[in-house]
Amino acid sequence: MPSAGFDQDSNEVTPVSIKILVAGGFGAGKTTMVSSVSEIRPLRTEEVLSEPSILVDDLDGIEQKSTTTVAMDFGRITVRDDLVVYLFGTPGQHRFWFMWDELALGALGAVVMADTRRLADSFPSVDYFERSGLPFIVAVNCFEGAKRFRPEAVRLALDLNPGVPVVLCDARQRTSCRDVLVTLVEYAIHLLSGADALSAP
């Protein structure tokens, strides 16, 4: 196995770190998901102030969440001593897009959280990951009181490519969120084996 990290610290193993993004519209359940499945850590970013004129979130149809912050959702899952999965919740609004390119670099993939009450809010995230070529799946957060949709209906509504997995989840449930992450990793493996097949002589 190739060594990673510092050469000078060859006797100390630097963990392999896997980065997964959790994207989606405001209030779609990103924060809930990250805190359900990982050890959350406070992480702030401040560059939001570069566009001070759009600090107000649109709260139509979302009664529970009254404020938005410049805090990022950041969580760590220590899978093993030498393997750590990092989750970064990326705000879906356009004013945070400066962060996306940097976060997407070297990421394993992304989970786009979708709220069926405001499905259009996940368009920008889906669009972004389609263009960047980063593997992504769509996790439909089954909010209480929201009408249930079949994954196929969501796929159609989001106009997703046929291969992109769509799963239903409950962002409050650790096991449900874990299954979402497993689906993403398996999808990444699937894409990788496809790429291998194509590049094979």
Partner 1 sequence: MSTVPDEWLDRDAGPVVRPYALTGGRTRPRGESFDLLAVVGAAIDVRSIDRMFLEPEHAQVLRLCRRPMPVADLASDLDLPLGVVRILLSDMRERGLITIGKPARTGLTDQRILKDVADALRRL
User: Residues interacting with partner 1, by CB under 8 A?
Assistant: 1-2, 4-6, 9, 12, 14-19, 37, 41-47, 49, 52-55, 70, 72, 74, 76-77, 79-80, 83, 85-86, 88, 102-103, 105-106, 108, 174, 178, 181-182, 185-186, 188-189, 192-193, 196
Nearest to partner 1 of 16, 157 (CB atom): 16
Residue 43 CB, shortest distance to partner 1, in Å, is 5
Nearest to partner 1 of 127, 186 (CB atom): 186
Residue 27 CB, shortest distance to partner 1, in Å, is 20
As beta bridge partners, residue 75 has 40, 87
Task: Kindly state the DSSP code that residue 148 receives in the 8-state scheme.
Answer: P
Residue with tokens 């799946």: 137
**Is 122 within 8 Å of 35 (Cβ atoms)?**
no
Residue 35 CB, shortest distance to partner 1, in Å, is 14
Nearest to partner 1 of 45, 132 (CB atom): 45
Residue with tokens 């529970």: 64
* Three-state secondary structure call for residue 30: helix
Nearest to partner 1 of 109, 122 (CB atom): 109
In sign, the C-alpha dihedral spanning 81, 82, 87, 88 is: positive
Nearest to partner 1 of 47, 159 (CB atom): 47
Residue 128 CB, shortest distance to partner 1, in Å, is 18
Neighbours of 68 (CB within 10 A): 15
Residue 145 CB, shortest distance to partner 1, in Å, is 29
Nearest to partner 1 of 12, 152 (CB atom): 12
DSSP collapsed to 3 states, 129-191: HHHHCCCEEEEEECCCCCCCCCHHHHHHHHCCCCCCCEEEECCCCHHHHHHHHHHHHHHHHHH
In sign, the C-alpha dihedral spanning 182, 197, 125, 109 is: positive
Residue 130 CB, shortest distance to partner 1, in Å, is 19
